[in-house]
Amino acid sequence: MDQANTVNFNTTSRETQLLDRINEIYKKQRFYFATGSTKSLAFRKAQLKILRDAILQNEQIITEALHKDYSKSPFEAYTTEIGPVLSEIRLVLANLEKWAKPKRVATPFPFFPSSSKIYRDPLGITLIISPWNYPFMLLMQPLISAIAGGNTMVVKPSEISAHTAAVMATILKNNFVESYIAVIEGDGFEVGKALIENHHFDHIFFTGSVNVGKKVMEMASKHLSPVTLELGGKSPCIIDKDASIDFAAKKVAWSKWLNVGQTCVAPDYVLVHESVKNKFIQKLSENITKMYGDNPALSKDYGRIISDARFNALEKMLHQGDIVIGGQTDAASRYIAPTVITNVGNNDLIMQEEIFGPILPIISYYTNREVLERIAAHPNPLALYIYTESNDVSDYFIKNVQFGGGCVNNGIVHLANSNLPFGGVGNSGVGQYHGIYGFETFTRQKAILKTPSWFDMPIIYPPYKNNVKWIKKILR
């Protein structure tokens, strides 16, 4: 792989080489941004089209890389990775001029005949650090927003999804100069620390775990670099007694075991009304069989855990509570069957950590108040899912639970609507993106009040004399 745009550090002087390379890229990008080349809308749109065309040309290679990383099916590769990225580009290209147009706002009468507008300025040099679970989409979507904003970009893909990272690095290297978009590969902690601790980035966009997100924010504070943190948490799914159980079980099965549960907004645990618990579990089992067959290990539509470390962490969770569906594993292929567990307590490991895998605890409840207490036992969730035929019930939970976003009678698809802001709250994240919200994240508002010289209000100047009574009348 050409060293011009990507960096791998495997020598004994790796740290020195890494710092030198980062310094070189940083200086190049700072100089390039200062030329103003990235700021015109024509330039931004042209770069988005280049990216779109490169993705289309390499679609098969991207699909193959995703399969190598964790046996992702071609259908899931397109619907959860490639398709959303292409859709995001289309949306941005169609709306960029409207989003970037200066916005006129009201001007107080004392400043007559002035006018006021808000301009959106590019931020400068931005850093995007992406995760392994949706490695293509979760790097490319913030990159699209950063391009639309008129910035330069340093991107760090996850080394855990190594095949997809290599393909993305090649695509970006072959189509963009590193003074505009540069890719730095390598160990996430080592590279991330070297980048953030040694330079002021005008924005840092990080997607990953809560613990690493806290470290990113701490390091960024040294240079007052603003951050967007897309994190996670334990996202609950509520099954009301009035829910359509057949429908709910199908949606939960699909949204939980998509990408083998390795989704930041996957249902992490289910709170089901006691009166429909047994029926829901039965229907969940039926839908797992419909989707993945009697033995999901043989299904071409069911992937694998990304790494041995993640497999081992998930396997420990299988020893808590009672397994009522699944539970089969194969360490050699990193396979864990779609698994449902009951009789778990709040102090069990499975209820203390985000699962991020194909294991689903089910907890029964009797009252809506009990649901709120269960959810409040964990930090603010990234997502909330409510299955009910009652608007009163859905409104109750929407109003009384603080969460990032979610669905009523559906799962995870709010993430795919770029007209909705996506992001967490509290422990589950800082900031939002997608569509116009991503454009706003990667730009800043610049306030301008413009005054013509043909009129000036004399009472604002000294000597004030009796001007106080007049200015009070005007301001009131």
Cα–Cα distance between 329 and 41 in angstroms, integer?
52
CA gyration radius, the chain:
25
What lies within 8 Å, CB to CB, of 94 at 6+ separation is: none
Tell me if residue 64 is catalytic: no
Q: Strand order of the sheet with strand 103-105? A: 103-105, 115-122, 443-450
Cα–Cα distance between 218 and 65 in angstroms, integer?
33
CB–CB of 120/68 below 8 Å? no
The DSSP symbol for 297 reads G
Cα–Cα distance between 362 and 340 in angstroms, integer?
7
Convert 425-459 to b/e letters by CB count within 10 Å (16 or more is b). Answer: bebbbbbbbbbbbbbbbbbbeeeeeeeeeeeeeee
- Residue 464: is it exposed, middle or buried by C-beta count within 10 angstroms (0-12/13-18/19+)? exposed
Cα–Cα distance between 123 and 352 in angstroms, integer?
38
Among residues 76, 81, 88, 230, the one annotated as catalytic is 230
Q: How many CB atoms lie within 10 A of CB 107?
A: 16
| φ, ψ for residue 349, nearest 5 deg | -55, -40
Q: What would the DSSP string read from start to end of 198-213?
A: H---SEEEEES-HHHH
Tell me if residue 274 is catalytic: no
Cα–Cα distance between 60 and 167 in angstroms, integer?
11
CB–CB of 91/435 below 8 Å? yes
Cα–Cα distance between 444 and 203 in angstroms, integer?
11
| φ, ψ for residue 221, nearest 5 deg | -65, -25
Q: Are strands 181-183 and 236-239 parallel, antiparallel or unpaired?
A: unpaired
- Residue 230: is it exposed, middle or buried by C-beta count within 10 angstroms (0-12/13-18/19+)? buried
What lies within 8 Å, CB to CB, of 73 at 6+ separation is: 67, 300, 301, 303
Among residues 264, 354, 407, 440, the one annotated as catalytic is 264
| Catalytic residue ranges | 230, 264
